A and B are shown apart, each in its own frame.
Chain A
Amino acid sequence: MSTTLERSREDVQPPGPPAGGALRRSADWARRAPLLPALVFMIVVTQLPFVITLVISFMNWNAYYPDERGFAGFDNYVNVLTDVATRDAIIVTIELTVVVVLVSLVLGMLIALLLDRKFLGRGAVRTMMITPFLVVPVAAALLWKHALFNPEYGLLNGGLTWIWGLFGSDDPPQPDWITMAPLASIEIALIWQWTPFMMLILLAGLQSRPLDVIEAARIDGASAWQIFRYMTFPHLRRYLELGALLGAIYIVQTFDAVFVITSGGLGTANLPYTIYQTFYTAHDYGLASAAGVITVIGTILIATLALRTVSTLFEEENAR
C-alpha cells in the first residue's frame, strides 16, 4: 500500500488547442485517433446489444412458438411486474444487494480501522484478509456449499461436533444451513468475498487522511472516539459511498453464487438468474428482455450516484 501514500504527482494540464480552422480540425483528429478504436469497440459490443434488448422487450417472442412473433407493446413489462416469480426475483435482488453491501461495508470498515494501526504481522493479516476475494467466485460458492455448509461433513457442523465433544456431549446440533436459510447462506458466502473489497477501499481512504491534523487534534486532547466521529468518519464518508455503490453494481449482477449454491431454488432466484433461466431454459426472449431492461433501470439509479461519487473523487484528484 506504500504506493498509495506517494501522491506527489502534478496533474497534466491539457495544452490549449491550436488556433485556426483547418489546422485545428486536423490537430483535433490527430488527438482523437488513438481514442477511436476503443470507443467504437465499446459502442458496438455493449451499446448495440442493449438497444436490441430494448427492442425485443417490446416483442412477443418465444423460441418455442416462432410463428407468434410480433409486437407486444408493454405486455412483457406488465408480465414481469405481475408475475410472482419475477416480482420475487426483484425483491430477492434488492435484499441480497442491500444485505451484502451493508454487512461487508461495516465489517470492512472495522477491519480497515484495525489494519490502519501498526502491529506485529500487519502485512500478513492484510494478505490473509485479501485471500477470500482472490478465490474464483464459482470455486468460493462450491467451497461454501459443500465444504462448509454441508450438514453431514461440512466444516461448520464438524466444528459444532468438535466443540460439543469437548464438553462431553455427543448430541451436537447439526443444522442443514442451506435448507434452513437459503438466502442467508448465499449472503454469507458473498459477504465473505466482498468484505476484503470494502476493506481495501476504506483502508486506502484511511491512509489518505491528513495525519498532521489528526495529530494536532490528539495533542489538543481529543479522544479516540471524537477523532473517529468528527475527523476520520467525515473523511471516510466518500470512500464508504464509493465502496457501497461499486459493491452494489457488482453484487446486483451476482450469478455464480445463486447458480451454484441453490440453483435459484428455495426462493433465492435473483434477477440475473431469472433472466438467464427465462431466455436460456424457457426461451421467452421478450420476457427476458423486459426483465433485463428493468435491471438496467435499477442499475442506472445506483450508477448515477456512483458516477457522481467517482467524479467528485476524480475532480479532486485532478485539481490537486
Chain B
Amino acid sequence: MSSVTDVAPVPATRTPEGAPRRPRKPRGGLVLGLVAWVIGILFVLPVVWMVLTSFHSEEAAATNPPSLLAPLTLEGYRTFFGVGTGTNPWPSLLNSLTASLVSTLLVLVLAIPAAYALSIRPVRKWTDVMFFFLSTRMLPVVAGILPIYLFAQWSGLLDNIWLLIVLYTSMNLPIAVWMMRSFLAEVPVEILEAAAMDGAGLLRTLRQVVAPIVLPGIAATSLICFIFSWNELLLARTLTGTRALTSPVYLTGFVTSQGLFLAQMCAAAFVVSLPVLVAGFAAQDKLVQGLSLGAVK
C-alpha cells in the first residue's frame, strides 16, 4: 500500500471487479497527502515522545523546553525493572500474560464450536442467539461487578488470577463468536459436502478442510481478545490485590513517588503497551472487524 505513488498515471485497480480509477490531479492530491501526513504525525507524536523520553535520563526528561537531543540511556528501563530500587514488575507482567493467554484460549475453545453451530450447521433462530451474545457485550461492567466482588470475597477467589481469566473470557466471548461466525461463513458449503462424500468424518473435515480456511480468522480473533484482556483495568483493580496484580494495575500504582519519574514512567508505559502494539499491528487488517463485532469488514 505504501509503495503506490499518487502521481503515476497508471489506473489503480481498487475494486474487486477491477474497475479502473481515474487518476487524480496531482497537485490537489499532493496537498491533501501532505495534510494526511501532518495529521498522522500529530497523532503518533505522543507515542514517539513517550518512547524518546523513556530513553532519556530523568533530568533530561523533565526539562522545559524539552531536550530532544539529550543523550540516550537505559536508566528508565533499569529503574522500571527494579535495578537498585527493589521494585519488580515481572509478577504483574506474567499475571497479565497468563490472564490474557489463558482467557484467549478459553474463548477460542468456547467460541469456535458456537460459531460452527451458528454458521456451518446453524441452529434454528441462530440470529437471535447472535444478538444475545452481542447484548451481553453491551452490558456495562459496573452492572455486575458488585455481585462478582461479593462472590469472590465469599469463595476466597479474591486476588486469584483464575477469577480474572473467567471474567475476561466472558468479556471477549461475544466478540469472538461474532468474528468467528463471519470467518466460518466464508467456508464454501460445497467443500464440506465434497469432504462428506469422500467419507471424511466431522473431526477430519474440521481439521483438514475447515481449519486451513479459518486459521487466519482464528489468529485475528485471538489477537483482539488478547488486546482487550491485556488492557483491562476496572475488574483487575477491584478483584486483585498483590498476588494476581496485572500490569495496568501495576502501572497505576507506579507513579506514587515524588521527585522525577517521567523517564521511568514512559519506559513502564512503553513496556506494558508493547505486546498490544505488536498484536495490533499484526492484526491491523482485521482490527476493524473485531472492534465492530464483525459488522464491518
Which residues of A pack against B, CB within 8 Å?
Answer: 1-15, 17, 28, 31-35, 37-39, 41-42, 45-50, 52-53, 56, 111, 114-115, 117-140, 142-144, 146-148, 150, 152-153, 155, 157-159, 161-162, 165, 174, 192, 195-197, 200-201, 203-205, 207-208, 211-212, 215, 218, 239, 242, 246, 249, 252-253, 255-256, 259-260, 271-272, 275-276, 279-280, 285, 288-289, 291-293, 295-296, 299, 302-303, 306-307, 309-311, 313-314, 317
Contacts and interface: CB of A to CB of B under 8 A. Distances in A.
Secondary structure of the A contact surface, majority rule:
helix
B242 interface: no
A42 B146 contact: no
8 contacts: A33-B117, A42-B133, A49-B143, A122-B36, A155-B49, A239-B296, A253-B234, A295-B143
Contact of B134 (A11, A31, A133, A307): A307
Given A3-B285, A120-B5, A242-B295, A46 B144 contact: yes
Contacts of B146: 49, 52-53, 56, 279, 285, 288-289, 292
B4 A118 contact: yes
B85 to A, nearest CB: 18
Nearest to A44: B170
B16 A138 contact: no
Nearest to A255: B234
Contact of B141 (A138, A253, A288): A253
Contacts of A174: 64
Given A135-B276, A212-B19, A314 B177 contact: no
A149 to B, nearest CB: 11
A133 B248 CA distance: 16
B215 interface: no
Nearest to B107: A38
A128 B43 contact: yes
Interface of B: 1-2, 4-6, 12, 14-17, 19, 21-22, 24, 29-30, 32-33, 35-37, 39-41, 43-44, 46-47, 49-50, 53, 61-66, 110-111, 113-114, 116-124, 126-127, 129-136, 138-151, 166-167, 169-170, 173-174, 177, 182, 185-189, 227, 230-231, 233-234, 237-238, 247-248, 251-252, 255, 261-262, 265-266, 268-270, 272-273, 276-277, 280-281, 284-288, 291-293, 295-297
Secondary structure of the B contact surface, majority rule:
helix
B113 A147 contact: no
Contact of A129 (B40, B130, B173, B268): B40
A292 B140 contact: yes
A203 B123 CA distance: 34
